[in-house]
Structure 1
């Protein structure tokens, strides 16, 4: 049963009621199904449960699910790291070491993670952009594989972020293509247009070339994947290409990953990519060889 007052801290004694247990059992199934795409956001989890017929598309059911999942995390039933908390902002402290030996151990570990620029030599430099911060970890998983940076941002007023994107394009000395994931609604379409126009204008003033590609969500994807929709907001008078709206998080995580990977691979030269990986491994081995004699060599 739920505590009589708002819970604080761990709740190891919590025992869910039958209806709560029904939803949490369905949550377990979803998390297991998408184990290769964790963490997921609460909104993504909700849309999958909606598709599975576990919940109704109401704000009440969404809040109820959030409450159940929150208590399950407090109780240790759901691991903390499988759910993405969109509101969390973390800034890591500078690295510190217990002593020189600890430092050299860290250096040797870093050698195992040595990476070259995996976009080097490609005809176009790619970036992944997402309207929803909660989806970024899933994009990062794909982006890291190809050496692609991932960014998130919402609203129309991220002027500094748009300027920074143009600066990156100018520094890259080659064409940049932004692969974008956003909601399929009035706001999402206009946000995409505003982002593209502003970044292209900033970059163009310095002779840099930037292109934007809408990877998701599109009207075709809404139909193909039977995504849940709601009518457009009547209070939003801006033009919209569709007749119904849906959020990017309505795309199941595996389908989102497949769409993004397809868009990335369409812009990659596989031979150049394999050459980068081969160079990376050769240089990694060389670094390991230099470190093999330990700190005494210094």
Structure 2
């Protein structure tokens, strides 16, 4: 029987000690800026709120939205330097950026985010629930009650809190986009609680889309596969990080900039007949979801 080949290293081994991770410490840096396709003003003068918008997929979405004409509120935990860099790039597109730091696991913080956005911009047109954490464990017995509560509080409870707070300031034609994961569809033996939250987000997205359809507010999701973001070196050991993403059909991790167009599409009128759906930028995994 032929032995399986070791995963090829595609980046230097590296690890960060705390989540969500710092983008400026990653080698190589993720690609967040939009590609060569010219922006078309599909989100002209829209107001978007993005959680986890300081780095990774959130940063790429913020930049893509700004390139399409949106002002962006970036909610993040405490990664001030990464957030400031994202804001600077948004402003370089000629759009406004609002930075709001704090822990979205707390409902009061989610309410504060909405208050600050409405005070600055007067409304919310797009809500992107993107922030998440993940803590690998080999056995379910190793998942403490504290870890379980933290993972669910950030990954799914915060989405409920933000939608509740934002809805009074959203109108017909607004869009909500929730970040789930390929793990919601194929599972992950070492990310049990994380995968459970991502499955919950799929159900939340589909159910919320039904609830809000009469209001003309669309609700969709994006289920990324392995994407090179700060969460990766902040989660896994250096050896895993070095080969991260090499086991998907396309044989590489995706860049945040390759995921962001999904969010632009779902936020724009191009997706006016789509609600309750999930897009799958995952490197070629077939998940039938």
Q: TM tier, shorter chain?
A: 0.3 to 0.5
- Structure number with larger C-alpha Rg: 1
TM-score, length basis structure 1? 0.33
Higher relative contact order (CA 8 A, sep 6+): 2
TM-score, length basis structure 2? 0.34
